[in-house]
Amino acid sequence: MSKAILELRNVKTIVNKGTSNETTILKGINLTINEGDFITIVGTNGAGKSTLFNVIGGNLPADEGTILHNGKDITHESEEDRTSFLARVFQDPKLGTAPRMTVAENMLLATKRGEKRHLVMRKLKQNMARFTKLAATMNNGLEDRMTTATGALSGGQRQALSFLMATLKRPDILLLDEHTAALDPHTSLNLLHATNERITKDHLTALMITHHLEDALTYGNRLIVLKDGQIKADLNAAEKEKLTTDQLYTYFED
């Protein structure tokens, strides 16, 4: 039986508290994420997808409920503390990388994620062969740009680098926040294939928000539909394999 990596128990999140715009975004979310799960998440705008990620990542507090990591209560742990076991890739390729540092330097920085920073020798040369080999798995020429400043990369290469940096230390939880949405269709598909390959090969536990229903059905072993701050459906691999995009769309209807 798979081990529960992360559990959300009756989690509720309120924004703009005490104002006329006070809104409850997450309305009693109960979710168990098991080791090796690759969960795709779909929902309309305002359904609570990014808020769910922000609460898991520690960017937003859970106003009610409990969040457990490997059975330990982390409800009130900071975003910084959670980087020791959690990594996230955002929609914007500019986030998650240092533009003036080279590709290799960014990857070296990622090897220190979640650790206290000390003044130590860089050890960049010793890691170059390993980093280049990893970059080649992205299938977009990133391996030929190891000494290029990250700000000079294409959007697809920069997002591929963000993904590599997020997975370099094999996080317990990987959050993919529409990480291909800002890319052209060809580049997006290429990164999705590389993402799926890496998650499958390394048996990573990942959640991926997507607005493409086809991708939600194609990738992962579970599919969650969020609607109005609640989980409308949590489908396993067998259940989602039987679904068409039209059938999935009916979950968004009233």
- CA 148, CA 136: separation in Å to the nearest integer? 15
In the structure encoding, which two tokens stand for residue 192, read together? 């999705």
d(CA 53, CA 10): 15
Q: Is 121 a residue whose pLDDT tops 50?
A: no
Confidence of residue 8 (pLDDT cuts 50, 70, 90): very high
For residue 94, the 8-state DSSP code is: T
- Domain 1-85+171-181+203-254 superfamily per CATH: P-loop containing nucleotide triphosphate hydrolases (3.40.50.300)
What tokens were used for 14? 């309120």
Task: Answer yes or no: is pLDDT of 116 > 80.
Answer: no
Distant-in-sequence, close-in-space partners of 211: CB < 8 Å, separation ≥ 6: 42, 178, 181
Collapsing DSSP states into helix, strand and coil, what is residue 124?
helix
CA distance to 36, 132, 188, per residue, from 58 (Å) = 22, 32, 27
Alpha-carbon distance 222 to 54, whole Å?
A: 20
pLDDT tier for residue 124 given thresholds of 50, 70 and 90: confident
Asked if 167 contacts 178 with a C-beta cutoff of 8 angstroms, the reply is no
Residue with tokens 């220190």: 112
- How does pLDDT run across 178-197, given as a tens digit for each residue? 999 989 999 999 999 999 99
CB of 114 within 8 A of CB of 88? no
Q: Which residue has the tokens 């000494």?
A: 147
Rounded CA gap, 184 and 251, in Å? Answer: 28
**For the whole model, what pTM was predicted?**
0.93
- For the chain, domain boundaries: 1-85+171-181+203-254, 95-170
Q: Which residues of 11-39 are buried (b: 16+ CB within 10 A; e: fewer)?
A: bbbbeeeeeeeeebbbbebebebbeebbb
How confident is the model over 30-47, as pLDDT tens digits? 999 999 999 999 998 889
**pLDDT tens-place string over residues 75-115:** 999 999 999 999 999 999 888 899 999 999 999 989 887 66
Compute the distance between CA of residue 163 and CA of residue 247 in angstroms, rounded to an integer. 31
Q: List, in sequence order, every beta strand (DSSP E) within 19-63.
A: 23-34, 38-42
As a whole-number percent, the residues of the chain with pLDDT over 70 amount to 96
Exposed e or buried b per residue across 98-121, where buried means at least 16 C-beta atoms within 10 angstroms of its C-beta: eeeebbbbbbbbbeebeeeeeeee
